[in-house]
Chain A
Amino acid sequence: KAGVTQTPRYLIKTRGQQVTLSCSPISGHRSVSWYQQTPGQGLQFLFEYFSETQRNKGNFPGRFSGRQFSNSRSEMNVSTLELGDSALYLCASSITSGRALSPYNEQFFGPGTRLTVL
Chain B
Amino acid sequence: TQLLEQSPQFLSIQEGENLTVYCNSSSVFSSLQWYRQEPGEGPVLLVTVVTGGEVKKLKRLTFQFGDARKDSSLHITAAQPGDTGLYLCAGDGGATNKLIFGTGTLLAVQP
Contacts and interface: CB of A to CB of B under 8 A. Distances in A.
Interface residues of B, number: 27
A105 B44 contact: no
Interface in A62-118: 90, 92, 94, 97-101, 103, 105-112
B97 A110 contact: no
B99 interface: yes
Given A101-B31, A101-B33, A107 B99 contact: yes
Contacts of A44: 101
A55 B97 contact: yes
Contacts of B102: 42
Interface in A15-43: 31, 33, 35, 42-43
A50 B88 CA distance: 25
Among B42, B43, B100, max chain A CB count under 10 A is at: B42
A58 interface: yes
Given A55-B95, A99-B92, A110-B42, 10 more contacts: A43-B104, A48-B96, A55-B96, A56-B97, A90-B42, A94-B97, A97-B97, A100-B98, A101-B92, A105-B97
A43 B92 contact: no
B88 A56 contact: no
Given A100-B93, A101-B33, A45 B99 contact: yes
